[in-house]
Amino acid sequence: MSDYDRDARRLWSRKVHGLTPYVPGEQPRDRVFIKLNTNENPYPPAPGVIEAIQTFPVERLKLYPDPTGLATRTALADYHGVALDQVFVGNGSDEVLAMAFQAFFNHHIDPATAKETEKIVFPDITYSFYPVYARLYDIPYRTVPLADDFTMPLASLQAPSAGIVLANPNAPTGIALALDDIRSLAAADRDRLILVDEAYVDFGGESAVALLPEFDNILVIQTLSKSRSLAGMRIGFAIGDPHLIHALERIRDSFNSYTLDSLAQTCAVAAFADGHWFETTRIRIMTTRERTTKALESLGFSVLPSAANFIFIRHDRYQAADLYTRLRDAGILVRHFKQPRIENSLRVSIGTDPDMDAFITALTEITADSQ
Ligand SMILES: *Cc1c(COP(=O)(O)O)cnc(C)c1O
């Protein structure tokens, strides 16, 4: 008898046995680290959000939240200059992405038409949740390799496929794709949906929301986790053609109608009402990013050009795994992916200026005493 026969894993479905779940970055509880490992915003939520939480009518929690997220969607539609029926909200953009995979990529395969037998595509180096969702929902996929300099392989993305998933700016590279490139991908086949994950767009990218008047086959997904400092509140959204939004609503209402709780909805509205804080903090992060990049380059690191709130770095003379451990010993957490092509790079979230000073100081010491 194997272990699986003896314990309750014998009750698992075939699906559960076959899964390879996503592994989130560490949230340490044992000691205080300078956390540069999960791309959280180092600044607190906007003062308007804090006030909204402090004055939230707790009594309201006995009621179910608005299942359609009307107030939140109104704030989002106003901010992005789109109609209310072009906006869908969910419990973090991970959930919205998962619903989009189910809504648009699990086509019935018709053996008569070659097109429907195509797989969806995404780059080999990108957000590692995409292959997890594809496997969870039995969606055939293939990856296309990023170029050696980690830019998008546009020609291979143009080839026929059942759909395209792009993070723009990409993760963990931070490299942004121009809107013209997304436009040409969308125009190449209007029967193919392009899912553009814009988790980091506010730190220097261009949003594909600008392309929506031209294309009904682009769905843009964003989050309040990064640029609005609300990772713990779990608010994400999608913007696209009303028929795409309707498909997402059909999935949601077949699963859980109340994905966004009342407090989260209140915070989302308050976050968009306090635009000053958003502008100040995102610009501060971009300024810190450029300063950190220069300091790292003078220590001999290569830094990819980032339009995100993180940088992807490597050093010819130091192993990323060693640097990761030495930084951890110095109380600084960064992200190291043990994955082909990027195992010698580190992804470093942009913290406050003092955080990044400590990071640079630690690396200066590490690179000095191992000469
Ligand atoms: C952080 C991140 C998300 C998830 O954001 P949540 O809204 O917190 O679920 C989605 N896509 C990418 C590329 C991310 O880095």
CA-to-CA separations, 312 to 91, 110, 260, 352, in angstroms, rounded: 28, 42, 32, 17
Per residue in 262-294, pLDDT (tens digit) is 999 999 999 999 999 999 999 999 999 999 999
Same domain, 175 and 237: yes
Atom of ligand 1 nearest to the CA of 127: 13
Given 225, 255, 274, the domain boundary residue is 274
| Segment holding 50, helix H or strand E | helix 47-54
Position 1 scores a pLDDT of: 59
The rounded distance, in Å, linking the Cα atoms of 102 and 122 is 16
Same domain, 77 and 203: yes
Position 343 scores a pLDDT of: 97
Atom of ligand 1 nearest to the CA of 171: 13
Same domain, 207 and 337: no
Same domain, 71 and 178: yes
Instruction: Please list the residues that pair with 141 across neighbouring strands.
Output: 120
Position 26 scores a pLDDT of: 79
Q: Is 261 helix (H, G, I), strand (E, B) or coil?
A: coil
Given 244, 274, 304, the domain boundary residue is 274
Same domain, 301 and 332: yes
Position 109 scores a pLDDT of: 61
Same domain, 24 and 63: no
Same domain, 125 and 24: no
Given 241, 274, 307, the domain boundary residue is 274
CA-to-CA separations, 66 to 79, 80, 113, 251, 260, in angstroms, rounded: 20, 21, 42, 17, 8
Same domain, 97 and 240: yes
Q: What percent of the chain lies above the pLDDT cut of 70?
A: 95
100 CA distance to ligand 1 middle (Å) = 14
Position 303 scores a pLDDT of: 98
Q: Are 302 and 73 contacting, i.e. CB atoms less than 8 angstroms apart? A: no
Per residue in 84-120, pLDDT (tens digit) is 999 999 999 999 999 999 999 976 566 666 555 689 9
Residue nearest atom 2 of ligand 1, based on CA coordinates: 199
Mutate to test the pocket of ligand 1, among 22, 76, 94, 310 (most ligand atoms within 8 A of CB): 94
Same domain, 129 and 235: yes
Residue nearest atom 11 of ligand 1, based on CA coordinates: 199
Secondary structure (H, E, C), 293-310 = HHHHHHCCEEECCCCCCE
> What's the domain range around 38?
3-45+276-369
Same domain, 338 and 217: no
Number of domains in the chain: 2
The CATH number of whichever domain residue 152 belongs to comes to 3.40.640.10
The rounded distance, in Å, linking the Cα atoms of 267 and 230 is 9
Is 361 a member of any domain?
Answer: yes
Position 28 scores a pLDDT of: 77
317 CA distance to ligand 1 middle (Å) = 32
Position 23 scores a pLDDT of: 83
Q: Which residues line ligand 1 (CB under 6 A)?
A: 39, 92-94, 127, 167, 171, 197, 199, 223, 225, 231, 236
Q: What is the mean pLDDT of each run of 10 residues along the chain (371 residues)?
A: 78 89 80 92 97 96 96 98 98 98 80 69 96 93 96 93 96 97 96 97 98 98 98 98 98 95 97 96 98 98 98 97 96 95 97 98 88 51
